[in-house]
Structure 1
């Protein structure tokens, strides 16, 4: 079956955060939104059919999670990521971000230090600071036109109070898919210093040709014993609004502490529709995902070529995964406020501001290419027109 990702779907007036709340976030209502990390595509038809069937039943009481739900996760991990997991390792959460907060509360103490690698997904900062832990920044570096981990600085910043690192894999917003060598080096450092690894792998299914996502917990027995992995079908199949994610925790002691906190807060029940969607996505969505990735790759190539031809002032490094592009506006020699003015007021395009992602985000913007080509073409044309008018 062939899927139509070119179809424009009107998301306005659906309480879409991306489309209906731009005024709240950008001060402008009529901007073209390519910011929030969800896509403008319908979920796979099998998922929609499964949800419709459950809706038609008409009774939406409390529900559990059938064995098929867990089997779908286990099979997906094995088939897509060559990772053999068991049912008992899996716990369901209402999202990856709530789960990261729970892990911090369950597995660290107030004033413990937690490392992040900026520029990185900004809720990591809030999860650390709002829970009374200390944020330690280990910024990524750019070498040979590629973002890399700064292992030398990482080791220098670790002390006896450092208890955890939050890994973003694949990395949002820079699009890196970490290699086995890089992940193994990180594991070695964490073993040597007795540091827990929280691995946000929500983008793990959207990886492009020539690259492979490796769950860091799958590298070795030592990695498995100190890693808490968080995943979800939300980015992959565009079902983020159903608020269903899961943790994979092989270590019995860590799992017990995490689940105790999860259950104390009564956050492990999930919801009927999220449960059904996850099982359907992982059972029937493989072909849809293959076609989606091909479409996203073509959008990336289009964007790279358009910028190279029409907007050479903007720099970007081709992502290895995710549907997010990390645009560098430094060469325009504008202030942050002037870049905002250019994009929001003149181009009428809404992108995520780079400084949201911490150190290394200055003069950058994050562009979401998970949309029909015509939407992307319009956004890039608007940016080109605004920059050329500025000149």
Structure 2
């Protein structure tokens, strides 16, 4: 391999949320942090070079977004997903979570209903609630750690107040890549009921089977006209702290409304280093990403096999996408606060509690495996030791 993903980088005292906030988040400075979704790997060299070059100019004023920025995203979508994006479909947003707030503001009113599909990325809950809209939960069906959409339940929960669904594709935290058939089924229900689809596709590049991700807008002309899709290199290339993303809006009427929401929130500008990093990522990062995906899948397989061999009471399927493992502790009889305390105080691990992704996440923990093999080996050893001690005491 050309890139060394086994190289250790000390991130402490770099103002890293993941590493420097453990005491605040977990109340324990000794935990090994495997939680918030950024990677412990150095960025692709082209990104580092582009940022370094820009940093050498000693003035950091407001940034102009050049056409190269949009062209790089269009070229990337064509290469990775075999889709054609028109320039007029694109606008910028500082991040996907702010963009969710903008979409809710633009296309719904207080008291309207918005559908989500738990277990799902926890800001979906807070953005809806904080904007005075009502959450409708179309919970996913789980069978032995594998999740499916419940389209019958989706249809049954729609009312005249239901205006939007927020789709997580690929799905976080469960690591599913939705099939074209699943997405088409969701499309038909939403089309019939005139529901706007907001597709969070921030993990779209992190799929292990190349070409397996289907962008929602690419399903059909109807899908394009009733949806907004968010794309970003932030998770893919480990540049989340540079706050630069894009919205794909084929419908000009939706685009106008969304642009007005951006203006109301004064979110037109992007980080000047983010602009450079997006262009470099999409134009020069493909080889790095392809090698990264091999490494990440290897990490997922390592965890799966380690648990199966050494801690069979805890399960994790090898994910289809993302670098986030969904660990099932129900076999140990651990749930709720008891599980959370066990992970933090006994296993000394900093993970994301499953309940944050919805009540059907109780008994689960999300583990970020975008780290070195050495770190994962340490984490699994800590977990095994804690589980053995727990079993002796129950």
Instruction: Output the TM-score relative to the length of structure 2.
Output: 0.98
Contact 2:163 2:196 (C-alpha < 8 Å) held by counterparts? yes
Query: Hey, what's the Cα distance between the residues in 2 that align with 1:122 and 1:312?
Result: 28
| Residue of structure 2 in register with 1:383 after alignment | 383
| Residue of structure 2 in register with 1:63 after alignment | 63
| Residue of structure 1 in register with 2:44 after alignment | 44
Query: Hey, what's the Cα distance between the residues in 2 that align with 1:144 and 1:34?
Result: 24
Question: What's the offset of the Cα at 1:113?
Answer: 0.4
Q: Secondary structure at the match of 1:172?
A: coil
Contact 1:110 1:133 (C-alpha < 8 Å) held by counterparts? yes
Q: Secondary structure at the match of 1:293?
A: helix
Query: Hey, what's the Cα distance between the residues in 2 that align with 1:13 and 1:96?
Result: 27
Question: What's the offset of the Cα at 1:145?
Answer: 4.9
| Residue of structure 2 in register with 1:371 after alignment | 371
Question: What's the offset of the Cα at 1:331?
Answer: 1.1
Question: What's the offset of the Cα at 1:110?
Answer: 1.1
Deviations 1:22-69 (A, max 9, x none): 111111012100000000001101110110000001111122111111
Contact 1:91 1:268 (C-alpha < 8 Å) held by counterparts? no
Query: Hey, what's the Cα distance between the residues in 2 that align with 1:92 and 1:251?
Result: 16
| Residue of structure 1 in register with 2:171 after alignment | 171
Superposition pairs for residues 172-251 of structure 1, below 5 Å? 172-209=172-209, 212-251=212-251
| Residue of structure 2 in register with 1:311 after alignment | 311
| Residue of structure 2 in register with 1:339 after alignment | 339
Superposition pairs for residues 1-391 of structure 1, below 5 Å? 2-143=2-143, 145-209=145-209, 212-390=212-390, 391=392
Contact 1:113 1:134 (C-alpha < 8 Å) held by counterparts? yes
Q: Secondary structure at the match of 1:198?
A: strand
Query: Hey, what's the Cα distance between the residues in 2 that align with 1:77 and 1:258?
Result: 21
Query: Hey, what's the Cα distance between the residues in 2 that align with 1:389 and 1:125?
Result: 36
Contact 1:177 1:211 (C-alpha < 8 Å) held by counterparts? no
**Which stretch shifts more, 377-386 or 259-268?**
259-268
Question: What's the offset of the Cα at 1:164?
Answer: 0.3
Question: What's the offset of the Cα at 1:269?
Answer: 1.1
Query: Closer, same or farther in 2 for the Cα pair 1:162/1:172, shift >3 Å?
Result: same
CA RMSD of aligned residues (A): 1.1
Q: Secondary structure at the match of 1:360?
A: helix
Query: Hey, what's the Cα distance between the residues in 1 that align with 2:24 and 2:173?
Result: 22
Contact 1:228 1:248 (C-alpha < 8 Å) held by counterparts? yes
Q: Secondary structure at the match of 1:234?
A: coil
Query: Hey, what's the Cα distance between the residues in 2 that align with 1:49 and 1:256?
Result: 36
Contact 1:118 1:139 (C-alpha < 8 Å) held by counterparts? yes
Instruction: Output the TM-score relative to the length of structure 1.
Output: 0.98
Contact 1:139 1:359 (C-alpha < 8 Å) held by counterparts? no
Query: Hey, what's the Cα distance between the residues in 2 that align with 1:323 and 1:143?
Result: 21
Query: Hey, what's the Cα distance between the residues in 1 that align with 2:185 and 2:2?
Result: 41
Q: Secondary structure at the match of 1:57?
A: coil
Deviations 1:86-121 (A, max 9, x none): 111111111000000000001111111000000000
Query: Hey, what's the Cα distance between the residues in 2 that align with 1:63 and 1:339?
Result: 46
Question: What's the offset of the Cα at 1:335?
Answer: 3.9
Contact 2:304 2:315 (C-alpha < 8 Å) held by counterparts? no
**Which stretch shifts more, 330-339 or 120-129?**
330-339
Contact 1:173 1:326 (C-alpha < 8 Å) held by counterparts? yes
Gaps in structure 1 of 5+ consecutive residues? none
Question: What's the offset of the Cα at 1:146?
Answer: 2.1
Q: Secondary structure at the match of 2:56?
A: helix
Q: Number of paired residues?
A: 391
